[in-house]
Structure 1
Amino acid sequence: MKIAEIFYSVQGEGSLVGVPSVFIRTSGCNLRCSWCDTPYTSWHPEGEMMEVPAIMTVAQSFGARHAVVTGGEPMIAPGIRELTQALRAAGFHITIETAGTVLADVACDLMSISPKLANSTPEGPFAQQHERLRLQVDVLSQLTSRCSYQLKFVVRDPDDMSEINQLVQALGAGKEHVILMPEGIDRDTLRERGLWLAEICKQTGFRFSPRLHVDLYGNRRGV
């Protein structure tokens, strides 16, 4: 499978924020988000082909007990089933970060689903494909029934809440599963959007998530 990077850091987003984790980032994605913060896995996929044993050797070298399989879109990666089974056999807690557009037979402890809102649709030749694929409610319903999950929405504007509320209602998801995170790749943008988004969380009861890795390290790879 094509791997963009493997690194050790703290989880920067969601319900496990702050937990030391090894990140296994697959390369390749079926979407083309306009604000994608890892274009080297989607718009211009980079990486090297690695077999599962080689991936595991690197992953286990850090001594972490939490593994985050991310992308790109890891659910389309050839070998994702074998990789997650190997992680499970090695005793890792497994988080899979996915847009929730594809089903795959995976071992998983936390399905971290980030449904892509209308704010993600790009202009240009990929717009039609992205818009057609970005929300698959049937897939989301199945993913949320398979294991523990969180719905992690990337919010750019308060108007995004209408789409978020509709989807949460359609999925029958409890507020404890819903996480709102400001869109942005620099501290100033995240702080500006985070201030009004925190107020929305107070009003709705949804959870707020920072992007801790951006706050700590900036917009850098491998952190």
Structure 2
Amino acid sequence: MLISETFYSLQGEGELTGVPSVFLRTSGCNLRCNWCDTPYASWNPEGTERSVADLVAEVQSHPGRHVVLTGGEPMIAKNIRDLAAALRADGRHITIETAATIAPDGIACDLASMSPKLGNSAPDARLSDAWRARHEATRWNPEVLRAWVDGYTYQFKFVVSTPADVEEMETLIASLGRDIPRHKILLMPEAITLDRLRERSAWLGELCKERGYRYAHRLHIELYGNKRGT
């Protein structure tokens, strides 16, 4: 399978923020988010072909039991289900970071970290009209989202740029027809620099307090900056 990078770090986002984890980043994505912070795994996918056995051996070389399958979009990666099954057999806790556009179909997963894309993700003129239409048609899939919610322990992570994004998120969540607890909805500032992170965290944190959502910081930017391998 095509792997963009692997690294051992602290989980920077979501309910498991701060947990030492091995990250396995697959290369390739079915979306083209305008603000994507890993274009080397999406817009311009690059990487090395790795076997499931090789990846499991690398995971075993690190302390701790948490593994994060991320991307790109890991759910479109070749042999992703075989990799998840092998990690489960090895006793690992598996987080899958996904845009939730691909059905789980029983994949081994302990935490489905779903980050459905809002309208603010729309790609710009760098892409053809056909790609922009494809992104728009793919980014929100209620049937797939319900399958993840019904079958797995989950969290929702939404990348937020403005208060209008929160209004859009609330409309979309309501359309799922599921009772999603507000503490399962994490709102994360759209930011790849520390200055932008702090600027947006101020008002977003207050909004989370008012509406009962969880504020999701980006610990890796705070600790390391926007660097690969962190």
**Normalised by the size of structure 1, how large is the TM-score?**
0.98
Deviation digits for residues 36-86 of structure 1, max 9, x if unmatched?
A: 000000000010011100111111111221000000000001101100001
Q: 1:221 aligns with which of 201, 211, 228?
A: 228
The residue aligned with 1:28 is 28
Deviation digits for residues 171-193 of structure 1, max 9, x if unmatched?
A: 32111210000001010000000
Q: In the alignment, is the contact (CA less than 8 A) between 1:6 and 1:59 conserved in 2?
A: no
The residue aligned with 2:211 is 204
1:76 and 2:76 aligned? yes
Which letter maps to 1:205? G
**Normalised by the size of structure 2, how large is the TM-score?**
0.95
Q: Distance in 2 between matches of 1:218 and 1:161?
A: 26
Provide the alpha-carbon RMSD of the alignment: 0.8
Q: Distance in 2 between matches of 1:42 and 1:137?
A: 23
1:101 and 2:101 aligned? yes
Q: Distance in 1 between matches of 2:121 and 2:27?
A: 19
The residue aligned with 2:13 is 13
Aligned length: 223
1:89 and 2:89 aligned? yes
Q: Distance in 2 between matches of 1:53 and 1:153?
A: 33
Q: Distance in 2 between matches of 1:104 and 1:149?
A: 12
Q: In the alignment, is the contact (CA less than 8 A) between 1:3 and 1:24 conserved in 2?
A: yes
Instruction: Give the match's secondary structure for 2:113.
Output: strand
Q: Distance in 2 between matches of 1:89 and 1:63?
A: 17
Q: 1:182 aligns with which of 175, 182, 189?
A: 189
1:138 and 2:143 aligned? yes
Q: In the alignment, is the contact (CA less than 8 A) between 1:81 and 1:104 conserved in 2?
A: no
Runs of 4+ residues deviating >2 angstroms: none
For residue 104 of structure 1, report the CA deviation from its aligned partner.
Answer: 3.5
Q: Distance in 2 between matches of 1:213 and 1:222?
A: 10
Q: Distance in 2 between matches of 1:14 and 1:28?
A: 23
Where structure 2 has 5 or more consecutive residues not aligned to the other structure, the ranges are none
The residue aligned with 1:167 is 172
